[in-house]
Homo-oligomer: A and B are copies of this chain.
Amino acid sequence: MNRLMKPGIRERETLLNSGLLAALGVESVAAMMEIAVIGNLPARQILFREGEPADLLHCVLSGYVRVYKLDPDGREADVELYGPGDLIGASVVLDGGRYTATAQAAEPALIARFDLKRVRDIANRRPDLAVALTHALSAQLAKAFASLANDRLHTAPQRVARFLLAHCIVEGKPASFRLPYQKSLLAGKLGLAPEALSRAFSMLRGYGVNVRGRLVHINDPEALRRV
């Protein structure tokens, strides 16, 4: 990680509002702030690799971090995409074990990291930290189950339609929005090859979806719901 630093005022505020720290009592917040280190990551930098001894817990302050697993022949399967405020669940290894997936900055990102041994020490003294980690992980397990079910139940165009509907705020009315990240990341998140995502977007044109770069216009959300 480049330019490691203690959190400044702005980073402290972002950290305080992050999923993990927002759930803690003041004393545990202070203990976690004390050991927090902030770092800027350039796009594509690896945070940790599957199989390495786990030594750091990570939270995303800005940007996106993709977590993936590798096949022996080098193919990658994205399994989670973490954004601003997210605890990287794959880095919660309190038992002294190894990382079970690889994490990479998907774009320039600001990350808070915490020494796992010290996190474990704090968690062993302070139930609120351990309970907050349990909450975060159980929410992430639910998300992983939802991804697995989405893959197993839905075709590529259906997965894309569901993603668009979940991000289109105005119920039932035409809407425009900007994809929160590049299409290649969206493809990975939905378990699709980039070509399969392009084909799905082409197919969705027939349902009133227009895409220009990262800008998406949905003419008829109701039609999209019937894909």
Contact = CB atoms under 8 A, between A and B. Distances in A.
A146 B126 CA distance: 31
Interface string A139-178: 0111011111101110000000000000000000000000
Given A130-B123, A133-B134, A145-B67, A191 B140 contact: no
Contact of A101 (B69, B100, B127, B142): B142
A152 B90 contact: no
Contacts of A152: 77-78, 151, 191
Interface stretch (A37-45, A91-99, A199-207): A91-99
A138 interface: yes
A195 interface: no
Nearest to A138: B92
Contact of A148 (B125, B126, B151): B151
A137 B133 CA distance: 9
A55 interface: no
A75 B138 contact: no
B145 A94 contact: no
A101 B148 CA distance: 12
